[in-house]
Structures are given as structure tokens and as C-alpha cells.
Amino acid sequence: MLIPPIHGYGVNIFGGIAGVSKILGLTKDTIEHAMGIGGYLCPVPTLMQFAENVPSSMSKFSPAGWIAQAELTAILLAEAGYTGDKNVLDGNFGFWKSFGANGWRPEIVIKNLGQRWYLPEMIGYKRYPCCGAMHPALDILSAIIGKFDLKPENIKKIHVVLNLLAELNLWKNRDIKTHIEAQFSTAYVFSLACHRIEAGYKWQIPQTYNDPKILDFMERINISTPATPDYEKKENIVEVIAYDNKTKREKRYTERDVGASIFQISDQELYEKFIRNAREVLSKEKARKILETILTLDELDDMSKLMHLVIP
């Protein structure tokens, strides 16, 4: 499918159906029916509607829970004999048309099918609870803050260069009312980094996004993108203008002062992130047991054992 003018991630429903079908060893005929049912259950592309509206809704732009449920529902129905549209992807009124794309090129989809796997290089885990477009700059800013021990009161101004996502209303929003808005507001997120708020659930709780010192500091943060007039003059991804602790003179710090940053999160960091985020609802011992179970999931004989563990 060619890129539609209005984005959405509902198309992932076909990948989920294909994956589960392979695990279950379904027949070609059953898979075709499951794909057809899934195509009719797929949510419409709503990414831009979500991203351009403030205040935001909790629906986000891709109801992951519903898509997962729809995938399994489509497979179970097909297994039970419920028929789906076997031609859901093709024809003048195929799925591509319904989803708002301007064409359909199946030869690209089936090229190297079963030979090349995109999942390892495409999957990633977030270090920060916010839009992934901000993460590289957050890594740099955090490194600068840590290396030079910069305190919020010493920081005069911060300039950050991001991609065009930061031009969308939800990213430009500085009036934070909900945890949804907290994870997309660029100024808010960088203010948190400057205050060294522990990355995790604390970034999205009312006590934090209503904190006057966090909100006031947002005025010192300037975001540039390719759409801003002075973008071509920007030589750095992150520039922190601060007063030196000893001399009280104004100094500038950029990514050149902290070296190369590794944006990928390690396995150990991922484990610690889970323990940290679970600590308010689960004991440390129970959280570690859950982690151990997930890491040996292929040895688990009954998924209900994991489900019982995650109940607070």
C-alpha cells in the first residue's frame, strides 16, 4: 500500500493476523477468511485528527487493545467457519481505497517474504515516557545536565531542534491538563529533563504536570523544526545556555561537549524501567517474578499464571 495522505496504524491488523495464523498452523483458506474479516474490523486512520486537536482525547491514534482483540476475533471467527472477504486487499474498492491510500502494490509486500525480517531492526523500547521523536535530544540534554551538573536556576535558555512532528498542535501545546498531553508536549518534557525528574510514571501524574516550577521553566525552552524561519542557522541539536556555577559567566553547552550518545536502551535498563514503573502497584519481589516469567515465556505452560502475577 502506498502512503495514505492521512496516517494511521490500523493496517498492522494484517500482520497480527498473519503471525497468529502461522503460530496456530491455520490453512490457507482459513487465513484468507481471517484477513478478510480483519480488514472489515480495522479502525480508520485517525493519527492527524488526534495530533492536531488540543485538548487531547484518551483514544490516541491507534487503539492497540482493540486492534489486538480484532486480530484474535477475526481468527477465531474464521476457525469457526465465519467467512471473510478473500479479496479484501484487491480491486478498485479494496482495503487500500477504504484506508485512503492512492494505490496498492502487492509486489512490494511479498518481495523477500519469509527471507528478510524487519522486526529486529524496527522494534525499539522507550527510555522516556513520551513521543519517540524527542528521545535523541533528551539523551543529549540529560548528558549535558549530568556532566556539567546544571541546576534549573542556572539555565537561561535551551534551544532544541526536532523534526516536523513538533509543529503539530499536540506537540506545541504548553497547557498540560492530562497525562496524554504530558507525553506529547515538547516544552514540558524537556523541562522535566532539566529538573531531573525520574523517567517513568512520575512524568505523567498531576503532581508533576501541575508543578509551578516545571511549568514556569517551560518558558525558557525554544523548539525549532524545518518549518521555523531560523532552522538553517541551527548548528546543534541541543544548545543549553547557562551560568557557570563558579564564575557566574554565561556558557553554552551542546552535543559536542558530551560526545556521541547511545540512543538504544539496553536490556538491563529495560528491566530496571519495568521494576521502577511497577513499584507503586506491585511489590519488588512480585515485579521481579513477573520479569523472570516474561523472559522465560517459551517455557510457560499456562498463560493464566502470568496473568495472576500482574494483578496488584
Sequence-distant (6+) residues with CB within 8 A of 131 are: 165, 171, 183, 184, 189
Average pLDDT of 230-243? 92
**pLDDT per residue over 81-117, tens digit each?**
999 999 999 999 999 988 888 888 889 888 888 888 8
Report residue 264's pLDDT band, with 50, 70 and 90 as the boundaries.
Answer: confident
Q: Which residue in this structure is represented by grid cell 500482574?
A: 310
Return the domain boundaries, the chain.
Answer: 12-122, 132-257, 267-309
Asked if residue 89 lies in contact with residue 39, where contact means CB atoms within 8 angstroms, the answer is yes
DSSP 42: P
Spatial separation of the C-alpha atoms in residues 215 and 192, rounded to whole Å: 9
CATH number of 132-257: 3.30.1330.120
Name 37's Cβ contacts closer than 8 Å, sequence gap at least 6.
73, 74, 77, 78, 82, 84, 85
Residues recorded for the chain:
312
Q: How crowded is residue 292: how many other Cβ atoms within 10 Å of its Cβ?
A: 11
Percent of the chain with pLDDT over 70: 97
User: Cα 44 to the chain's mean position, in Å?
Assistant: 19
